[in-house]
């Protein structure tokens, strides 16, 4: 799906569910990781996460578009367009939009670089940062820690 197809889809959803036209631009954002879309208050355009354009996420994409269109139409109407506003919650429920972006595995997870093990009870401590083994000890038995594995 390209931007033209997405533009047509958003305009159709706007007319069908909100009974109002969407007369601004829709853009695809390739850098988004944690959000499905964004509505911009200044120029009223909407950005959509590129990863949701895949066919297997079509239902999620529809929910995201409805969510952003809820922001759009309420903001232009001068009503409460923020997530905490009752107008927003009611209209979102009415049109069946998604309240939260579904997690499709794009969020960054810290990479474990160091693995420490207690000498006494053999409990493992995966860590992102290096620790001073002369200063820190096991939280369970207070035994000394050894660096087992270091990866980059």
pLDDT of 140 > 70? The answer is yes
| pLDDT of res. 149 | 83
Does 68 qualify as catalytic in the annotation? Answer: yes
Mean pLDDT of the chain: 92
pLDDT in tens, 46-85: 999 999 999 999 999 999 999 999 999 999 999 999 999 9
Whole-number pLDDT of residue 90: 96
CB-based contact 66:98 (threshold 8 Å): yes
- Is the pLDDT at 109 greater than 80? The verdict is no
If you average pLDDT over residues 9-27, what whole number do you get? Answer: 96
Q: At CA 109, angle to CA 33 and CA 100, rounded to 5? A: 45
For a pLDDT cut of 90, what percent of the chain falls above it?
A: 84
Tell me: the pLDDT tens digits for 34-54? 899 999 999 999 999 999 999
What tens digit of pLDDT does each residue of 19-33 get?
Answer: 999 999 999 999 988
- Dump strand ranges (E) for the chain: 26-29, 37-39, 46-49, 114-118, 124-127, 145-150
Question: Which of 3, 59, 68, 149 is the catalytic position?
Answer: 68
pLDDT at 25: 96
Q: Is the pLDDT of residue 152 over 90?
A: no
pTM over the 0.85 mark = no
Backbone angles phi, psi at 125, to 5 degrees: -130, 95
The domain defined by 3-95 carries CATH number 3.30.2010.10: yes
Tell me how far apart the alpha carbons of residues 21 and 14 are, in angstroms, rounded to a whole number.
6
């Amino acid at each position: 799906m390209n931007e033209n197809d997405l533009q047509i889809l958003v305009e159709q959803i706007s007319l069908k569910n909100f009974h109002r036209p969407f007369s601004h631009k829709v853009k695809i954002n390739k850098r988004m990781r944690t959000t499905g879309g964004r509505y911009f208050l200044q120029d009223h355009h909407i950005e959509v996460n590129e990863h949701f354009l895949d066919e297997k996420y079509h239902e999620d994409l529809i929910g995201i578009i409805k969510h952003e269109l809820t922001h759009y139409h309420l903001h232009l109407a001068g009503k409460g367009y923020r997530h905490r506003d009752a107008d927003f919650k009611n209209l979102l429920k009415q049109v069946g939009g998604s309240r939260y972006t579904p997690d499709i595995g794009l969020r960054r997870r810290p990479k474990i670089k160091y693995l420490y093990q207690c000498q006494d009870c053999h409990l493992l401590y995966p860590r992102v940062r290096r620790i001073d083994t002369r200063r820190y000890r096991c939280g369970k038995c207070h035994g000394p820690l050894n660096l087992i594995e270091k990866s980059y």
